[in-house]
Chain A
Amino acid sequence: MSSLFAVQAGSRGSKGLAGFIAGLSPRGRALLIAAEIVILLVIWQVLVGSLELVNAVFFPPPLDVVDGLGDLIAAGTLGQAAASSAQSWLTGYGMAVLIAVPLGLLMGTSVPVDRVFGPIAWTLYAAPAVAYAPLTKAWFGFGAGPVVFLVVISAVFPIMLNLAAGIRTTSPSLLRAARVYGASRGEIYRKILLPSTVPFLFAGLRQGAVLATIGMVVAEITGSTVGMGAVIIRSANTYNTDQSFAAIALIVLWSISMTQIVSLVERIVAPWNRKKVSS
């Protein structure tokens, strides 16, 4: 989202509303967006809740969704479902990182591995993870097993392939310079390859986090009996769509939080890679 707050070079001189917005500080613009969201929610509430222009079962107004969240909490199923989803997600994502980082390093530095393993990885990456969902149910049953599997398979390839690509984009002159100054293999890894790969690694980790959430939801709504996806299915099937929307909102919140956490870690681990936000 940071791009929204960056001032575009072209729009600086423009007049009118755009000029006014472009002139705002990042904080001012964030406030503006927050205000817009509030206005949109109010319009939604009025159109569906008060004027009843749309069937409230299909688009429950915001206040109903809040009620739905209350119902879910009161029913006591929410905590368990959320815990199950979070646990599957974290387990799967952790496993994906553990698998992807060594393989990505290997692919990036070894030509044979890249040429032989690369095409296989790209082929699998292009295939929709959802295709494996029924197989995983046959293999692991209807619990958390399929969820973890789909999270792993969704997250592992973006992390691995970004990492490998990052290593390959390392400036050859940096490598040559290191060799001229007598750097050992370990030093080249530690001081040149890894630092120059960090932006790619974190881009992969962010993509992986987004895709992991998709994988988790897919596994949970296609027949798993656990997690937030199952809550959505159950509530939608009983026409309690306000509860479905509440559950979806929580999943969105989770997805955004995870990508933000990855970005936060990136800023701590690699401060030199700080995003260029002009203010």
Chain B
Amino acid sequence: MESKEGELVSPTMPVRAVTQSRFRTKRRDGEARWKLLLLGVIGVILLVWEAVVTWLELIPAVFLPPPSAVGPAFVELVLRDDFWSAFAYSLQNLAIGVVFAVVVGVVVGLAVGWFPVLRFTVAPFLWLFYSTPKVALAPLIILILGLGNESKIALVFLLAVFPILLNTMEGALTVNRSLVNAGRVFGANGVSLGVKVLIPGTLPFSLIGIQRGAALGFTGAVLGEFLGGAGGLGHLLERATFDFKMDEAIAIVIVMVIIANLTLTLIGILRRRFAPWYDDKTTVSAG
């Protein structure tokens, strides 16, 4: 049990929050200085990139446009209408798929975690599906559901549901038995036991699962758009590279990086808001 936990909880967002006891003595002004240094390093990286491509011409600008070309391409991109409709299309599929995945994942996860019979009979298959690279199913899903939204939503759901489900399951398993017993002593049974003890105890795990599920779901949405159909950021990106507009392509990739990071940050904020009692350290145990 303990062995699997750290790994499960971690895969995409594992171990960031480990309290850095050695660095704790650093004060606020120290933080600000690190941020400046970070900005400086990013500046140097951009400068080197520019130098290598534009001034030294080590890499042809057709393949890797310099920042001075990507920047204007980015601005041009966000001023276009078709960019925003593609943006909305992708995010809509992502949101619908993730919402389905959260509902199914949390409900099934709680049930499997709570009832030993289900855990011993169903859980092995869930683990099997969890470790299956489900992206391999993408061509079949397109075949079955066609090139429209349905196939993309299905892909998002399929990729997002298992991390949510298994984290919820593991979370339900770790709910402290004495809390459950105490709840029973105070007369909580059935639904109220679930609402007052099981769900709060499981929530932090579910939220980590949701964080990871949303990240994978985004992969599903983009992959679905690569494989067919005519909507979404993935399609826009595919077309840009096909026309060899690499500056535009890199700008779209940057947009995707921003979306992914914003989504993760948002869910991270939710996690701190709704599960502030919960110490990240407990899920970081590896091995």
Contacts and interface: CB of A to CB of B under 8 A. Distances in A.
Interface in A117-159: 117, 119-120, 122-135, 137-139, 158
Contact of B226 (A124, A133, A199): A133
Interface of chain B, main secondary structure: helix
B10 A203 contact: yes
A247 B140 CA distance: 12
Interface stretch (B74-82, B196-204, B250-258): B250-258
Nearest to B20: A168
A127 B177 contact: no
A259 B131 CA distance: 10
B282 interface: no
A99 interface: no
A119 B41 CA distance: 11
B191 interface: no
A130 B222 contact: yes
Nearest to A256: B131
A251 B244 CA distance: 32
Interface string A43-70: 0000000000000011000000000000
Interface of chain A, main secondary structure: helix
Interface string B1-35: 11111110011111110101111000000000010
Contacts of B64: 139
Interface residues of B, number: 78
A128 B127 contact: no
Nearest to B126: A4
Interface in A233-257: 233, 236-237, 239, 241, 244-245, 247-248, 251-252, 255-256
Interface stretch (A76-84, A108-116, A186-194): A108-116
Given A18-B116, A122-B16, A127-B261, A252 B140 contact: no
A203 B127 contact: no
B110 interface: no
B116 A131 contact: no
A132 B238 CA distance: 10
Contacts of B286: 162, 166, 199-200, 202-203
B16 A165 contact: yes
A29 B120 contact: yes
Contacts of B22: 111, 168, 172
B11 A158 contact: yes
B177 A9 contact: yes
A168 B124 contact: no
Interface in B134-185: 135-140, 142-144, 170, 173, 177
Contacts of A74: none
Interface string B58-81: 000001100000000000000000
